[in-house]
Amino acid sequence: MCLAIPGQVKKIDGQKITVKYPGEERFALLGNEKLKKGDCVMVQMGIVIKVLSKKEAKESLKAWKSS
């Protein structure tokens, strides 16, 4: 099973984006989502699967930290 942690979009270059996570940055593919720099996203298998509100991302990160 794969678990995703929210990240923040730092750079968009066509279909390739840079996502910042706590402690690291990774590349992902945009998929069909409309994004802008600063958006919070969930990435699974290197592809953006969901755009999150800031509130959703904060709650998810809080749950990760408490586990």
CATH code (residue 32): 2.30.30.140
Domain span including residue 45: 7-66
What is the rounded distance in angstroms from the CA atom of residue 32 to the CA atom of residue 25?
Answer: 21
3 state SS of 42 = strand
Q: How far is it, in rounded angstroms, from Cα 34 to Cα 50? A: 10
List 27's β-bridge partners, or say none. 18
Alpha-carbon gap, residue 66 to 43, rounded angstroms: 21
Tell me, yes or no, whether 1 lies in a domain.
Answer: no
User: Does any domain span residue 2?
Assistant: no
Q: Could you give the CA distance from residue 35 to residue 65 in angstroms, rounded to a whole number? A: 26
Task: Please give the tally of structural domains in the chain.
Answer: 1
User: In the predicted model, is pLDDT for residue 2 greater than 80?
Assistant: no
For residue 33, is it within any domain?
yes
Q: Note the pLDDT tens digit of each residue in 12-67.
A: 999 999 999 988 999 999 978 889 999 999 999 999 999 999 999 989 888 877 76
Q: Answer whether residue 35 is part of any domain.
A: yes
